[in-house]
Amino acid sequence: MLLLTGGAGFIGSNLLASLNEAGRPDIAVNDILGSDGKWRNLAGRQLTEFVPPADLSRWLDGRKLDAVVHMGAISSTTATDGDLLMENNFRLSLRLFDWCAATRTPFIYASSAATYGDGAAGFSDDRSLAALKRLKPMNLYGWSKHMFDLAVVERVARKDKLPPQWAGLKFFNVFGPNEYHKGEMTSLVAKRFDDAKAGGPIRLFKSHRAGIADGDQKRDFIYVDDAVAVVRWLMETPAVSGIFNVGTGQARSFRDLVTAMFAALGREPKIEYIDMPLSIRDSYQYFTQAEIGNLRRAGFDADFTTIEEGVKRYVSGYLDRADRYR
C-alpha cells in the first residue's frame, strides 16, 4: 500500500488519477476535504483508505507501506499563521521522514520553488548545506518548506538514519486540472479562462523594469502531467535520492501563456496591460527558471510538454467542458 498525503489536492489528486489509470488502487489518501469542493478531485477515483490528519499517527503505527508520497501542505504564499504552517509543513514532515527512516520506507515529498525567494541566489537545486543556506524565501510558505529541506540535508550530512530513498521536489509553476479549489493560488489559465471564452480581454501587468516589455515577465510553467511523471519516475527508481527542481527548464512569459489559451479557443489574443500595484512592485519576480541538470543526471530523460500543448490539453480536455475534473 502507498500513503499519499495531500491526495485530494492539486498535484496529489493528479498523481492518484495517474496511478489508478496504471492499475494501482492500493492507495491510502491523507487529506482534509473541507467545504471548498476539493472532494471533487477524488470523485471517480479508487483508494483503499481515507485517513484524516488527526488519525494519521495512529494509522501508521505498526503498518508496512511501499512508500510515503508527501504532497500535503498549506501551500498559500499569502498564509500568515506561522505556527500552523510550521506544524503542517515542517513538524509533520519531520515525523513522516523519521517514521520512514525507522521503517525503511521510501519517502518522496513536495518542496517548492518558493524556497528560492526572489531568485537572487539563482535556481540551482544544489542540495549542499552551503547552497541551501544562501536562499532567502520571501514568504512564510517558502520559508517553512526551506526549513524542512535544511533539516533533511542536515540529517544526510550527519549520516543519521535515513529512509532508503528520500527525494524533495521543488515544484515551479504547475498548472492543470483539479486546481480549482486553490482560490487565488490557481493558475492564470484557470482564473481567466471563462473571461477569455466570453470574449473579454485578459489583463496582465505592465512591466516596471527597464528592458522588459509589458507581459514579458517570465515563469517556468509546467503542466501537471509532467510533474506527476517526475514523481512516478522516482517511485520506480528507488536508488535515486536528493532534492530536485521540477520545472521545464524553460521560462516563458505570461503573454505566451495567455496567447496559448486564446489559441486553444481558436481566437486572436485580446490582452490589456494594467499598472502593477505599488504594494508588490518592489518585490515582484520578473523571472523564474528551474535548473534541471540534477534531474537529468539522475536519469529522468522524458521531454516536457510545451506551454502551447499543455494549455491546449487543459482547455480542450477540462476547462472547456461541463465537468472540469480529472
Which sequence positions are flagged as catalytic? Answer: 141, 182
In a 10 Å sphere around its CB, with 0-12 CB exposed, 13-18 middle and 19+ buried, how is residue 146 labelled?
buried
Cα(261)–Cα(45) distance, rounded to whole angstroms? 28
Cα(186)–Cα(168) distance, rounded to whole angstroms? 22
Maximum Cα–Cα distance across the chain: 59
Count of residues for the chain?
A: 326
In a 10 Å sphere around its CB, with 0-12 CB exposed, 13-18 middle and 19+ buried, how is residue 5 labelled?
buried
In this structure, are residues 228 and 175 in contact, taking their beta carbons and an 8 Å threshold? no
User: How do 242-246 and 252-253 pair as beta strands?
Assistant: unpaired
